[in-house]
Amino acid sequence: MGIFDGLKRDKTTEETIASNENEEEKQLENRETPEEPEDFSELDAENAEITEREVNHVIQEVEPRKIKSFSEKKPVKHTIGQTKVLAIINQKGGVGKSTTAINLAAALGDMKKQVLLIDLDPQGNSSSGLGIEKNQVNHCVYDVLLNGVLIEEVIIPDVCDGLDLIPATINLAGAEVELVSEMARENRLKDAVGSLRGKYDYIFIDCPPSLGLLTVNALVAADKLLIPIQCEFYALEGVTKLLDSMKRVKNILNPRLDIFGVLLTMYDSRTTLSRQVSDEVRGYFGKGVFKTIIPRSVKLSEAPSFGQPITEYDPSGKGAQSYIDLAKEVVSRG
């Protein structure tokens, strides 16, 4: 009997389901379907109700830094010794050259050093990263190289504490071609920078990601090179060509040229790749690699859009602390 009772219950359940389905079908058949217009032209556009919604976009405007002349520069309160000219260079793009140039210069300025940053990259990232509106710049480094403008007339003083800037504009993009036909083309920047020795503790040159005439000018003008290397795959690719170029310039044009230090940038401690690249670079350059490592940081990426170095934008963050540590290490190397 128990088996047949189960069969009866199953049959009753099936009948109930079938009954419910029939009722749903009847309701669908009886439901009135609204007539749709054959095309959109039949719609009454005049009587259509339009709902407007206000969307508030909060856009934070960054005020450009005031551009002063060199004559308005604040007086230097300490005795300046021998000026060190360092070219921040790597022919590979996206390795943190401009980020390092801006933030290392600002960190040294906070340490009461007098620093000049020369933006030699036609992209002008160091200039915009420090809040300089390029359309407000009367003269840039292009005018120094090709138009005979005195370098003091191009300097924008006191961009940050202790930091002056020689900006770059889009005009610099044509300098590579125009320098080809010029006399003493490799020495243009060296001759201009020579008059500034003794006025700054450090002069940094932010080089373009190439080995053209602008970079050659930086190699001739610099005392030593600071090479940022990204902790990514192919980190050492192209560095050998840079070293070959350095050797040629050293043998022919600038006998004092040497490597000041190699800086590991965009380091991510969570990845095995970053650690492997770090070990590989340290194995290749030895003690030439800085102990300080620049971490991958969102704040470091955001700071240029606000026209501020990381020491102003996020002074307590790990990015700022890493560049402060690097500045101390640069000073300790002499």
The H-or-E segment that residue 248 falls in is helix 239-252
| pTM exceeding the 0.85 threshold for the entire prediction | no
Query: 3-state secondary structure string, 43-59?
Result: CCCCCCCCCCCCCCCCC
- Identify whether the C-beta of residue 143 lies closer than 8 Å to the C-beta of residue 149: yes
Structural domains in the chain plus CATH codes: 81-333 (3.40.50.300)
What is the DSSP pairing of strand 84-88 with strand 163-166? unpaired
What is the strand order of the sheet 289-295 is part of?
156-160, 163-166, 115-119, 202-206, 84-88, 224-230, 258-267, 289-295
DSSP structural state of residue 110: H
Written as tens digits, the pLDDT of the chain (334 aa) is: 444 444 444 444 455 445 555 555 555 455 544 454 455 444 454 554 544 444 444 445 556 677 888 888 999 988 998 999 999 999 988 999 999 999 999 999 999 999 999 999 999 999 999 999 988 898 999 999 999 999 999 999 999 999 999 999 999 999 989 999 988 899 999 999 999 999 999 999 999 998 899 999 999 999 999 999 999 888 888 788 899 999 999 999 999 999 999 999 999 999 999 999 999 999 999 999 999 999 999 999 999 999 999 999 999 999 999 999 999 999 999 8
Assign 230 to helix, strand or coil: strand
Distance between CA atoms of 95 and 283, rounded to whole angstroms?
A: 19
Distance between CA atoms of 194 and 151, rounded to whole angstroms?
A: 10
